[in-house]
Structure 1
Amino acid sequence: MCEFRSPVPTLDNVTVDIMVVLGTTSMPVHQVMRLSRGAIIELDAGEQDEVRILANNLPIASGVVQVNRNRIAVEVKQMLPRSADHR
């Protein structure tokens, strides 16, 4: 019996943190310290604006938010070019 082993390790167990940035805001620290459950933070974006998609804190794509009943998803619209130092 011959067993084949790939010379390249598999990526099955690699974890990538995906983050979607809906918008940003700035506020003084004293306001942040007073935030409590139910607080509303206004962002600099509207519901139709594109969102940024990050992988391990690096921008990789842009997309739009999709809402279907009580489910929220992000549709990828454009993959961003990778810089030479992150290839």
Structure 2
Amino acid sequence: MAENNADKGARTTNLQLSELESDTGPSSAASGTGQSAPPDFGGDITPQNLEAIYDIPVQVSAVLGKSSMQVSQLLKLGRGAVVELDRKVGEAIDIYVNNRLVARGEVVVVDDRLGVTMTEIIKTDR
């Protein structure tokens, strides 16, 4: 479903790439964590040299909640079955880009379709 929406140019909130990137600071190798620093491709990140990546497709998923069950319970599910999730009504949902948590948001209705309003951008250390 997400792939179809992306192909159709569905109405979505555009995340700015700068909101998804972590702040660049001293490399983790220099800070003694033992991890190597990201490669330096020379030069600063500017809108002009980011232009090349704007058309790269990404998978965006909005997760309402999660549930776990035994295979025997899964096989008993049928039309009309209700699966209880680990979230409450009105609680923020998780938004993933390429299986990486990047934001939280709220479910909204846009015309006759579901959408997501971004309420919090998650910044992670790399």
Coarse TM-score class (shorter-chain normalised): 0.7 to 0.9
Q: 1:74 to 1:9 in 2, by over 3 A?
A: closer
Spell out, residue by residue over 1:3-44, the C-alpha distance to the aligned partner (whole angstroms, 9 max, x if none).
xxx777712431111111101111111111222333221112
Q: Give distance in 1, aligned partners of 2:86 and 2:109.
A: 20
1:77 aligns with 2:119: yes
1:25 aligns with 2:61: no
Q: Give distance in 2, aligned partners of 1:15 and 1:59.
A: 17
Give the structure with the higher percent helix: 2
- Identify unmatched segments of 5+ residues in structure 1: 1-5
TM-score normalized with structure 2 length: 0.54
Identity of aligned residues (%): 30
Q: Give distance in 2, aligned partners of 1:79 and 1:36.
A: 36
Aligned to 2:116, the other structure's residue is in SS state strand
| Runs of 4+ with deviation above 6 angstroms | 6-9
Q: Structure 1 residue aligned with 2:93, among 51, 65, 69?
A: 51
1:64 aligns with 2:91: no
- Identify unmatched segments of 5+ residues in structure 2: 1-47
Offset of residue 82 of structure 1: 2.4
Give the structure with the higher percent strand: 1
The count of residues paired between Structure 1 and Structure 2 equals 79
User: What RMSD over aligned residues (CA atoms) do the two structures have, in Å?
Assistant: 2.2
